[in-house]
Amino acid sequence: MALPDGFIPLRDVLNCNEKTCFIGAITNIQAPIPVDKAGQDHEIHFVIRDRFPGDEKDSVACILKHKKVCLPTGDPGDIAILRGMKLEILGDKNTKTLVMASEFHSQALFFPSKTIPASGGASKVPFNGMAGSQPPNDAEQTAVVIMKATAASLLEELKDPKVMFLARLGSKAANAKRGKRQSLIGNMTFNLFYDLVGEVVKTFWDGDCVDLYITDYTTNKDLFLYEDKSQLDRYSGDKRPWPGPFGQMTIQIRCYEPHAGAARELKEGDFVFMQNIRTKWSQTNKLEGAIHQDLQYPSKIGVRKCTHKLQLGDLIERKAEYEKKRIATLLADGDTNAPKKPSAIASSKKKLTKAQKRRLQKEQELKELEKKSTEKEKPIKGINNNVCAGDKDVGLSTVDEIVNNPHLKTITEHGNQLALPFVNSRYRARLRVVDHWPTELENFCRCTNTPETSQASASTSLNGGSQLLNNSERSERFKWHFFLLVEDADAPKGSTPIRFPLTIDTSRAQCLLKMDPCDLSARTSKLSELKERLFVLWGNLHERKIALKKEGIDLPLNIGDEKFGLSNLPFECCIEEYGVPVNDKGIPYTDDEIRVFVKCMGQPDTEEGKAAMKIVGNPKTWKRTWSPHNTTIKMDA
């Protein structure tokens, strides 16, 4: 197509200067993300293309940085005009990227494809632009109309909701490469999503955010270089010297809510598993990461402490190797610089011992922890060792002690006895699964926008009214939701022991199963994977449940009942007890309803505030609930 004056094709981007302009269709675009500690400046990452079908030379990655209110909003398929941009080569793959020259010089206009006419007219084509951007002239407006026609094949593809969804996350190619995102720090590059297992080197709280400095003892040349100042300058003036590792082994990762809450519970030396880390460049052009709220699963937590050696892979070995080399280097340096006078030699040895005391002690503690961990990991006879539970130092409780917790009864300050609806508590027990619900495994995941499983399509007010939610909240999502009925591992045969249900929602299922929720009825491979994982947990329970149901027999049955024919091993499980607010029919309030309650309780003097306090403050509103936590099914490699 003929371009207006000052515009060049994207394949000639290397020839651009500060006055060059570009036009293209947006093939994918990501939501704005904060890039500074104050959370004011945001970035938009997107890709534009000007030839269809074309090749990779006809598309260019772009980054706009400004205050969020100053940035344009756009969707895949919209037409973009960029002025006054500069070209940078970013990342290990030398990606050509158009970035802003300055907030005052660079301009960006986004034209929604739905409002662009099929042919030119006298009226102006609607657009939204970055702050300070000049409106399009007649030639640019004509070019926008022609570009939409040129991008007809792209617009046709974007009619598929799945294609549009992926385009709003990033390029298809990038997402295709993210099938298995587990990565070492040494392999990380710019503007991709990763999962990471590492050690917490340092933590820093900044308002609603938490910065974690994470290492896995691999080197990445794009990271900040931490040098050993004790070797370079003993008078550096740093009150808190960098604890190590030295070199380019540590990445700074900013955690936003809801992940920040979990990050605050971590301390230096903890091992952590982090999901959906998005890499970016810092203000000093160093690689760093961030974890934002998952728009598809807003309550999903992407920061979890590792409590089992199997979760760490080769991290322990890499750390031990680093410590070994580090000590050897320091000792070698000590010998090389050894002074000649006896008094100086004694002084040197004293300094060396002082400098290495903490590190040697830390290494010894690590060896002791490994030894204890190995001892604890020895298989226990009669227990399903393929189910790994954390909190090894917590004593075992029986089901009777859990269900009949004596702390449910307490004494008020006036000396009156008070029965509590639940107690916030955590336990560790040896259990056996004797039933599950729903019966069909494909129903273990629910679609959140179906009326029978959720009220996600409307938020209910206290007076019974409802308010429609926006389109993003009505979009189709799935969540885990199922129950396991459990009993004591040592319950005597022929008896009907105390049993209680474990409620398993999305976050707990992700920990237990290591699987994300999805449409199990449509994705048979995921359903098969679920069956395999649950078979490790409960043996032939599901098969016996289906067979007995055909005979008109419902579970659970007494222990040792020959009709049951159950073949499974008990397992150790960490359990947390908490309360869930329910309505008069015993049905839990939806997340939207709870949000309304919390909002109204912030205004206790209003009628709705009083009504919310009356509901939440009523002990009968709360249902006692148990769920597994810090427990994972281990699948053999």
Q: Got the DSSP string for 578-610?
A: EEEEB-TTSPBPPHHHHHHHHHHHTSTTSHHHH
The three-class DSSP label of residue 286 is: coil
**Could you give the CA distance from residue 547 to residue 584 in angstroms, rounded to a whole number?**
36
- CB within 8 Å of 562: residues ≥ 6 apart: none
Query: Position 432: which residue type?
Result: R
**Could you give the CA distance from residue 80 to residue 98 in angstroms, rounded to a whole number?**
13
Domain residues for the domain of 58 are 10-174
Q: Are residues 17 and 158 in the same domain?
A: yes
The total of other beta-carbon atoms located within 10 Å of residue 614's CB is: 11
End-to-end CA distance of the chain: 55
Q: Are residues 242 and 112 in the same domain?
A: no
The domain boundary, picked from 282, 306, 330, lies at: 306
Q: Are residues 348 and 301 in the same domain?
A: no
Q: Are residues 162 and 118 in the same domain?
A: yes
**Under a CB-based contact definition with an 8 Å cutoff, are residues 72 and 128 in contact?**
yes
Q: Are residues 235 and 289 in the same domain?
A: yes
The domain boundary, picked from 174, 209, 237, lies at: 174
**Could you give the CA distance from residue 583 to residue 585 in angstroms, rounded to a whole number?**
5
- 137 in a structural domain: yes
- Any idea what DSSP says for residue 33? E
**Minimal CA–CA distance to 503: which of 476, 523, 484?**
484
- CB within 8 Å of 463: residues ≥ 6 apart: 608
**Under a CB-based contact definition with an 8 Å cutoff, are residues 20 and 6 in contact?**
yes
- Specify the pLDDT at position 223: 92
**Minimal CA–CA distance to 574: which of 397, 401, 429, 422?**
429
- 148 in a structural domain: yes
Q: Are residues 327 and 348 in the same domain?
A: yes
Q: Are residues 203 and 238 in the same domain?
A: yes
Q: Are residues 360 and 321 in the same domain?
A: yes
- Specify the pLDDT at position 369: 55
pTM over 0.75: no
Structure-token pair, residue 461: 């007010």
Looking at the structure of the chain, the number of domains it has is: 4
The domain boundary, picked from 306, 335, 360, lies at: 306
- Specify the pLDDT at position 232: 43
Q: Say which CATH number the domain at 37 has.
A: 2.40.50.140
- Specify the pLDDT at position 364: 64
Q: Are residues 95 and 225 in the same domain?
A: no
**Under a CB-based contact definition with an 8 Å cutoff, are residues 200 and 269 in contact?**
yes
- Any idea what DSSP says for residue 226? B
- Specify the pLDDT at position 345: 40
- 161 in a structural domain: yes
- 312 in a structural domain: no
- 5 in a structural domain: no
**Under a CB-based contact definition with an 8 Å cutoff, are residues 630 and 307 in contact?**
yes
Structure-token pair, residue 233: 């300058």
**Under a CB-based contact definition with an 8 Å cutoff, are residues 62 and 96 in contact?**
no
- Specify the pLDDT at position 251: 96
**Under a CB-based contact definition with an 8 Å cutoff, are residues 212 and 203 in contact?**
yes
Structure-token pair, residue 509: 């299922």
- 586 in a structural domain: no
> Could you say which residues of the chain have pLDDT below 50?
92, 171-180, 231-238, 335-346, 348-352, 355, 376, 451-475, 637
Q: Say which CATH number the domain at 441 has.
A: 2.40.50
**Could you give the CA distance from residue 403 to residue 382 in angstroms, rounded to a whole number?**
24
Q: Are residues 238 and 287 in the same domain?
A: yes
Q: Are residues 65 and 101 in the same domain?
A: yes
- 614 in a structural domain: no
Q: Are residues 299 and 344 in the same domain?
A: no
- 382 in a structural domain: no
